[in-house]
Amino acid sequence: MKKIFFALLSLIFFSFSVGAAAQTKEYPFKSGENMELIVHYKWGFSADIASVKFTFTEKSGEGKEPYYHLLAHASTFKFWDSFFKVRDIYESKFYVKDLSPLYFHRDVNEGNFFAKNWYKWKDDGKTLNAIVDKKGRPRRDTTFYEDVVIRDIINIFFTVRCLDFDKLEKGPPAPFTIALDKDVLDIRVRFVGREKKRVAKVGTFNAIKLAIAVNPKKGRTKDEETSVFSFGEGDGESVFYGEEKVFIWLTDDANKLPIFFSAPVAVGAINGRIGTYEGVKYPLTSLIKTE
């Protein structure tokens, strides 16, 4: 399972310039919307192996405009610690006024692997300074310049929820640019359809299904020394690049709450589901049956 969780947590945050699908001003979330995602793995056995707990608050100070602050703590359940212990922390700050990014930190500790990111932005999110530490590699201090906002993997989690889904349903996929480690990636979010989605131990929802495609920025290749969600030590391969391989489900109501995702892994199959939630902004009218 080496480095599987490192890639998995990045995908969880994926699921969560917008292009042809316009962003709404009335956000589907509010300060105090906290949740827990349960991570399930299947390969010869089938089990819940970890949880990711999200705490979301609005803050001000530091001489800044009001901003949102999200903390995510990921950890394997006690039984699985003896096989592959995970203790990850993700932190993101982004402005309330337009969701443009302000600060991002990631501290990944998985087995004997570690990775740390520190991101700071300027130029309305289009210039990013990224400091990256990873096991077995020298520290990298890189600055990215793009003509669109460069989002982190938590910021995109909230930005996708603000899409105009009526336009997305009828139009082309919504494009985004994100940073991970010392790489910049293009992703495309496509509306797949509306369906009923059962979430174990929670209930059945009317849901919106989205598909996500991931590719390096134009001009970059997998052969460059960039982060490509590898599962092995320096294998340079990614199960996520190219065609749509990642799928997420959001509640089909005013909250657009993420309730389920599925993603490929090098060995076996993995998915995540919402476990607990509190502080949602609107009534959860999409929940049609509880368990």
Q: What integer is the mean pLDDT of 163-183?
A: 92
Report d(CA 1, CA 55) in Å as an integer. 27
Of the two residues 102 and 238, the one the predictor is more confident about is: 102
Q: Which amino acid is at 83?
A: F
3-state secondary structure 184-206: EEEEEEEEEEEEEEEECCCEEEE
Report whether pLDDT(4) > 60: no
Tell me the pLDDT tens digit for each residue of 28-57: 999 999 999 999 988 888 999 999 999 999
Q: Nearest to residue 1, comparing CAs of 275, 270, 271?
A: 270
Report d(CA 261, CA 37) in Å as an integer. 10
Report d(CA 258, CA 274) in Å as an integer. 7
> Would you tell me how many other CB atoms lie within 10 Å of the CB of residue 124?
11
Report whether pLDDT(238) > 70: no
Tell me the pLDDT tens digit for each residue of 55-66: 999 998 766 789
Q: Across-strand partners of 134?
A: 115, 137
Q: Across-strand partners of 247?
A: 211, 262
**pLDDT the model gives residue 267:** 72
Q: What integer is the mean pLDDT of 125-148?
A: 90
The pTM score is: 0.85
User: What value does the mean pLDDT of the chain take?
Assistant: 83
3-state secondary structure the chain: CCCHHHHHHHHHHHCCCCCCCCECCCCCCCCCCEEEEEEEEECCCEEEEEEEEEEEEEEEECCEEEEEEEEEEEEECHHHHHHHCEEEEEEEEEECCCCCEEEEEEEEEECCEEEEEEEEEECCCCEEEEEEEECCEEEEEEEEECCCCEECCCHHHHHHHCECHHHHHHCCCEEEEEEECCEEEEEEEEEEEEEEEEECCCEEEEEEEEEEEEEECCCCCCCCCCCCCCCCCCCCCCCCEEEEEEEEEEECCCCCCEEEEEEECCCCEEEEEEEEEECCCCCCCCEEEEC
Question: What's the residue count for the chain?
Answer: 291
Report whether pLDDT(110) > 70: yes
Torsion, Cα 146 182 97 31, to 10 degrees, reads: 160
Q: What integer is the mean pLDDT of 268-286?
A: 93
Tell me the pLDDT tens digit for each residue of 178-223: 998 778 888 899 999 999 999 999 999 999 999 998 887 755 443 3
Q: How do the residues of the chain divide into helix, strand and coil, expressed in percent and rounded to 5?
A: 10, 55, 35
**pLDDT the model gives residue 38:** 96
Q: What integer is the mean pLDDT of 126-133?
A: 93
Work out the pLDDT band at 23, boundaries 50, 70, 90. Answer: very low
Work out the pLDDT band at 224, boundaries 50, 70, 90. Answer: very low
Instruction: Label residues 209-225 b or e (16+ Cβ within 10 Å = b).
Output: bbbbbbbbeeeeeeeee
Sequence ranges of the domains in the chain: 4-290
Q: Which amino acid is at 16?
A: F
